[in-house]
């Protein structure tokens, strides 16, 4: 449930028109925020997948779906006033998810040993 709530918060925040957000001209902090949002989402999903006792292929499938959601979230910003689609934001999102996936697969490997 927390993972769904977290993704809803990400989607809601990305739907706010840009003039309503504080401006941060530091590119690194923006990308770190994108990475962090999606890393947290991935770790919440990891916890649920571990509860369901998913194997490594299940993790890969779920994370591919999550990657598609990240791409759709980035694309939908095209229709939000003051926002635009950014491949760099998507890459930061994807790296956050991949970091969480790696963590989850590492734990699965330890449990299977």
Residue pLDDT, tens place only, 40-59: 999 999 999 989 988 889 99
Q: With 80 as the cut, is the pLDDT of residue 24 above it?
A: no
Count helices and strands (H / E) in the chain: 4, 0
For 64-102, give the DSSP string: HHHHHHHHHHHHHGGGSTT----HHHHHHHHHHHHHHHH
Confidence of residue 1 (pLDDT cuts 50, 70, 90): confident
Residue 84 belongs to some domain of the structure: yes
Q: With 90 as the cut, is the pLDDT of residue 8 above it?
A: yes
Residue 79 belongs to some domain of the structure: yes
Computed over every residue of the chain, the mean pLDDT equals 89
Residue 20 belongs to some domain of the structure: no
CB hemisphere CA count around 59 (13 angstroms) = 25
**Which residue range forms the structural domain that includes residue 71?**
28-112
Cα 13 to Cα 6, 44, 68, 96, 99, distances in angstroms: 11, 18, 18, 17, 22
Number of domains in the chain: 1
């Amino acid at each position: 449930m927390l993972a769904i709530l977290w993704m809803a918060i990400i989607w809601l925040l990305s739907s706010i028109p840009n003039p309503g957000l504080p401006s941060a001209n530091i590119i690194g902090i923006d990308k770190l925020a994108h990475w962090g949002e999606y890393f947290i989402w991935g770790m919440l999903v990891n916890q649920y997948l571990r509860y369901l006792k998913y194997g490594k292929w299940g993790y890969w499938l779920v994370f591919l779906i999550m990657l598609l959601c990240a791409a759709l979230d980035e694309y939908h910003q095209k229709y939000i006033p003051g926002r635009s689609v950014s491949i760099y934001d998507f890459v930061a999102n994807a790296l956050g998810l991949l970091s969480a996936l790696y963590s989850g697969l590492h734990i699965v490997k330890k449990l299977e040993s």
